Amino acid sequence: HDEYKTDRRFIMIKKIVMRRCATYNDTGIVIDDCDRVNFIYGHNGSGKSTISNFLNDLQCPRFHDCSIV
């Protein structure tokens, strides 16, 4: 759809970096090749909701050490 090309709310995430929040320590994690990711799964308490909350509110202060590319 052409509407998605001009709407900056729709971006392709290439990499997610999660560190120093919730279950993620100083080392954190890096999820590369996000163009191949359709969903994230894992055990309870493994950080799935934290990733979702970060992607929902990138400006939230508790995610100051997290990033997307």
pLDDT, tens digit, for every residue of 15-64?
A: 999 999 999 999 999 999 888 888 899 999 999 999 999 999 999 999 99
Residue 22: partners with Cβ closer than 8 Å, 6 or more residues away? 47, 50
Q: 11 falls in which pLDDT band (50, 70, 90)?
A: confident
Length of the chain measured in residues? 69
Nearest 5 degrees, angle CA 16-CA 21-CA 27?
A: 65
pTM value > 0.85: no
pLDDT at 9: 65
CB count in 10 Å sphere of residue 48? 15
Return the H-helix or E-strand segment holding 29. Answer: strand 29-31
